[in-house]
Amino acid sequence: MIDPDSKDWTWVLSRTCPECGFDASICGALAVAALLRGNASKWETLLAEGRITRGRSNPAKWSPLEYACHVRDVCRIYDERIALMLEVPDPLFANWEQDATAVDDQYDEQDPRTVVNALVASAEVLANRLDSLSADDWEREGSRSDGASFTIDSISRYMIHDPIHHLWDVTVGRK
């Protein structure tokens, strides 16, 4: 059983992640779409290499398949959140229990090819949305249920850390 992640990861907006090395504070929001597409491509490579597996090398960490499912869902959730920010002034996002989703959706039982194909498609949808934003759109606001406030600029830079970090989890950080 994996302990639920209760950390407030918003700190990634102001400093370098000591694990994966990503620094959202120096990442321009306009770069996020390309980073997202590049990240999705790397998941395709891992799939082709047979590295999107169900097995956990550490019982306290997700398997590569579970991480791929999570990244797919991150792309979906953040596309929904950014769409909401574009439609509604300062929306409050519904809470997303990521660990419960992993169990409820049986991440560990899903088909790796289907998951990675959906990850790539979801990343492309989100990247296309980001590419379509006007200069004013980047300043639209929204808030999480825990009170953390974002603009589309900051939420996109916050979001991209997740796929980058989980790719690191599956490749470099897998222990």
Q: What is the pLDDT of residue 65?
A: 98
pLDDT (tens digit per residue) in 76-86: 999 999 999 99
Q: What is the pLDDT of residue 5?
A: 61
Q: Among positive and negative, which fits the CA dihedral 12, 16, 17, 22? A: positive
Q: What is the pLDDT of residue 60?
A: 83
Q: What is the pLDDT of residue 58?
A: 84
The CATH number assigned to the domain with range 28-170 reads 1.20.120.450
Which ranges of the chain does DSSP label H, i.e. alpha helix? 32-48, 64-87, 98-104, 112-131, 152-170
Q: What is the pLDDT of residue 2?
A: 59
pTM as predicted: 0.94
Q: What is the pLDDT of residue 3?
A: 60
Query: What percent of the chain has pLDDT above 90?
Result: 81
**Segments of the chain with pLDDT less than 50:** none
